[in-house]
Homo-oligomer: A and B are copies of this chain.
């Protein structure tokens, strides 16, 4: 998928299997519906395995498949990048927003101007 919930779930399951509500608590901010949809999507793609224990109350474990495990490394690399650069990105955004909020105080256009090639 590529969306943020899927990324978080894959990262969490990288440390081992987890139960539904366990994931729900761990993620914080995700609705139970989105967690269901996310897990269903990951399961569909063969990244996550779903194991039902027919106990009462019911228990369902989610774990990464072997394919899912191969995803961790590249995803982690990207996560690390995001983490390392989040302040620089934040700063860039603030700069950009300040520059473009000055849209009403002209005398300067929005972009760098290049020399004719």
Q: Contact residues of A with B, CB < 8 Å? A: 2-4, 43-46, 49-55, 59-61, 67, 70-71, 73-75, 77-78, 80-81, 85, 88-89, 91-93, 95-97, 109, 111-117
Contacts and interface: CB of A to CB of B under 8 A. Distances in A.
Contact of A81 (B55, B71, B92, B116): B71
A23 to B, nearest CB: 16
A70 B81 CA distance: 8
A80 B114 CA distance: 35
A46 B113 contact: no
Contact of A74 (B52, B74, B93, B111): B74
B81 A74 contact: yes
Contacts of A50: 111-112
11 contacts: A44-B93, A44-B96, A46-B95, A49-B112, A51-B113, A52-B114, A53-B114, A55-B116, A59-B117, A67-B89, A74-B81
